[in-house]
Amino acid sequence: MSTLHPIQHAAQALQLAGENINPQYRPGYHIAAPANWINDPNGMIQFNGEYHVFYQHHPYDEHWGPMHWGHVKSKDLIHWEHCPIALAPGDECDRDGCFSGSAVDDSGVLTLVYTGHHYTDREKDLFTQNQNIAFSHDGIHFHKYEANPVIAAPPADSAHHFRDPKVWKHQDTWYMVLGNATKDGHGRVIRYHSADLRQWTYDGIVAQSDGTLGFMWECPDFFELDGRHVLLISPQGIERTAERYLNLFQTGYLIGDYDYTTNDFQHGEFHELDHGHDFYAVQTLLDDQGRRIAIGWMDMWESDMPTKAHGWAGALTLPRVLNVDDRGRLLMNPVEEMKLLRQEQFSLGEAFTVKDHYHVTMNESLLEIRAVFDLNNSDAETVGLTLYSDTDDQTVILYDIANEKLILDASQAGKPQDGIRTAPLQRAALLTLRIFVDRSSIEVFANDGAATLTSRIYPQGSPARIELVATDGQALVQEWTCWSLRDIWHHADADNTAK
């Protein structure tokens, strides 16, 4: 039996695993663990001038297991460095896992608030959950509070689902929202408050499902933005329809008006936040520039993850700035700092017309693409682009003008089953696409965040060319610019790995 501390033991296992990774699909500029499994982003915060992101992590295996908290930090949201594992399970308060949570700055002390997981019957997936805190003075090494748990059990009227605390301060009071479920299987978000992060009082329900929005609401986040209140949730168990709720679980939002005194949240209908295959468990932070920045898990439960065979699984999305538009919809756009990754620029200069296809050679794995189509001066039925590899794998992004929907087709890029996702996108005079391609992901932002599609892709070959597309007519391309992007993790041999 090892005498090492659980965090040291995990670090040792992680270092060993990292030596055997196949880098073929390793991200060049997204957050991923040094090796093995990750899922939800946790504890996003700006602390002492640096951005910190924690994440659910299993350092011993490329599959989900007893959850630890992995940790990265950055001065600019772009160049990340791995820090030691922050939390490991095994204490009485978190015997079977340190599940998701958040981070706050408590008068200069970085404090993590997280869910402790305990199996009562592992085979039947029966468990209890509680809430705990851990703290750090240097932002790197954490100590669990000796009197954990700070909330020992859920309210009497709820099921055993009781997790993912998001904590923030409003005026002089700390507030916590938690993902929860009723005994008859309706997802909901509940609220607590505290003066000191240690003694918590239950305040009641913020919002709950009417029976159509799933059996459990995971990973809640609640904040004021552009004069409205936004509740982000990841509901489990919403029934799939023709073009909505196509993933196993969803991430979306409710927008409305909130009264702290009465805990009354009057909100509109639920909207999905991203319509791609791989976006879940989003969390946000408010930075010193006043930006509400969101990051999600760039995978989905029970999806095919070819990288498990390579010694790792899971990545996080780009950081995105959230705003509410004048229609009451949430917009997501990449942070301005993404421009720091740009290297070589390629542009076709003047506006030009595409009929059928227009090829551009572009053998880069890490790309940012900006394409602007003038729809008022186009008569094509669909416009967009296709990314090809040298083995003719293809990832297709199209805008169906008449039906006003944006389409991502990854069925020939590693998602042979269920490879198509669509997002509603109202027609405008211009279609502006901003696309970020990494070795195993694509993130599409249309019309300044009015629609986004995030998916993992697994092309077999190396990148070869991009084809601009206009079907059944022609399209005027007002702008076409590409940038090769810097590899912040320096996987120098990733693109030369034998396929």
Q: What is the pLDDT of residues 247-257, one digit of tens each?
A: 999 999 999 99
How far is CA 311 from each of CA 23, 78, 476, rounded to the nearest angstrom?
9, 24, 45
Q: In 10 A of CB 172, how many CB atoms?
A: 6
User: Does 54 fall in a domain?
Assistant: yes
Q: What is the pLDDT of residue 491?
A: 56
Residue 249 belongs to a domain: yes
| Shared domain check, 300 and 344 | no
In a domain, 213, yes or no: yes
Give the pairing of strands 271-272 and 280-286: unpaired
Structural domain count, the chain: 2
Express each pLDDT in 392-440 by its tens digit.
899 999 999 999 999 999 999 999 999 999 999 999 999 999 999 999 9
Rounded (10°) CA dihedral 481, 343, 288, 231:
50
Is 489 a residue whose pLDDT tops 50? yes
- Out of 310, 334, 358, a domain closes at 334
Measure the CA–CA gap between 22 and 25, rounded to whole angstroms: 8
* Cα three-residue angle 67-287-334, rounded to 5 degrees: 80
pLDDT of residue 493: 44
How many whole angstroms separate alpha carbon 375 and alpha carbon 469? 13
Nearest to 90 by CA among 144, 34, 153: 144
Q: The tokens of 250 are what?
A: 């969803």
In a domain, residue 210? The reply is yes
Residues 330 and 356 in one domain: no
Active site residue 40: yes
Shared domain for 355 and 421, answered yes or no, is yes
Helix H or strand E segment including 313: strand 312-313
Mean pLDDT of 316-345: 97
Answer whether residue 413 is part of any domain.
yes
pLDDT (average), residues 258-272: 97
Helix%, strand%, coil% for the chain, nearest 5: 5, 55, 40
Q: What is the mean pLDDT of residues 350-372?
A: 92
Asked, for residue 122, whether it belongs to a domain, the answer is: yes
- Check whether residue 279 and residue 414 sit in a common domain: no
Taken in order 235, 241, 245, 246, the sign of the CA dihedral is: positive
Q: Which of 296, 312, 334 represents a domain boundary (last residue)?
A: 334
Mean pLDDT computed over every residue of the chain = 95
Residue 198 has pLDDT above 80, yes or no: yes
pLDDT in tens, 4-25: 899 999 999 999 999 999 999 9
> What is the per-residue pLDDT for 496?
40
Q: Please, which pLDDT band fits residue 361 given cuts at 50, 70 and 90?
A: confident
Q: What is the pLDDT of residue 4?
A: 80
Residues 306 and 367 in one domain: no
Residues 87, 69 contacting (CB under 8 angstroms): yes
pTM over 0.95: yes
- From 40, 164, 278, 409, the catalytic residue: 40
pLDDT for the residue numbered 498: 32
pLDDT surpasses 50 at 497: no
Indicate if 166 and 267 belong to the same structural domain. Answer: yes
Residue-wise pLDDT tens digits, 91-113: 999 999 999 999 999 999 999 99
Which CATH number does the domain housing residue 202 bear?
2.115.10.20
Q: Does 252 share its domain with 210?
A: yes
Range picked from 201-205, 387-391, 490-494 for highest mean pLDDT: 201-205
Instruction: Select from 83, 73, 82, 79 the least CA-distant residue to 485.
Output: 79
Asked whether residue 346 carries a pLDDT value surpassing 70, the answer given is yes
Average confidence (pLDDT) over 333-360? 93
Any idea what the CATH number is for the domain that residue 382 is in? 2.60.120.560
Find the mean pLDDT for residues 323-348: 96
CA distance 194 to 111: 14
SS3 141: coil
Which of 334, 362, 396 finishes a domain? 334
Are 418 and 443 members of one domain?
yes
- Confidence at residue 2, expressed as pLDDT on a 0 to 100 scale: 52
Q: Is there a domain that residue 1 lies in?
A: no
Check residue 348 and give its pLDDT: 85
Give yes or no: residues 425 and 286 share one domain: no
Indicate whether 328 and 356 sit together in one domain: no
Q: Which domain holds residue 235?
A: 6-334
The answer to the question of residue 103 being in a domain is yes
330 & 345 share domain: no
On whether both 284 and 369 belong to a single domain, the answer is: no
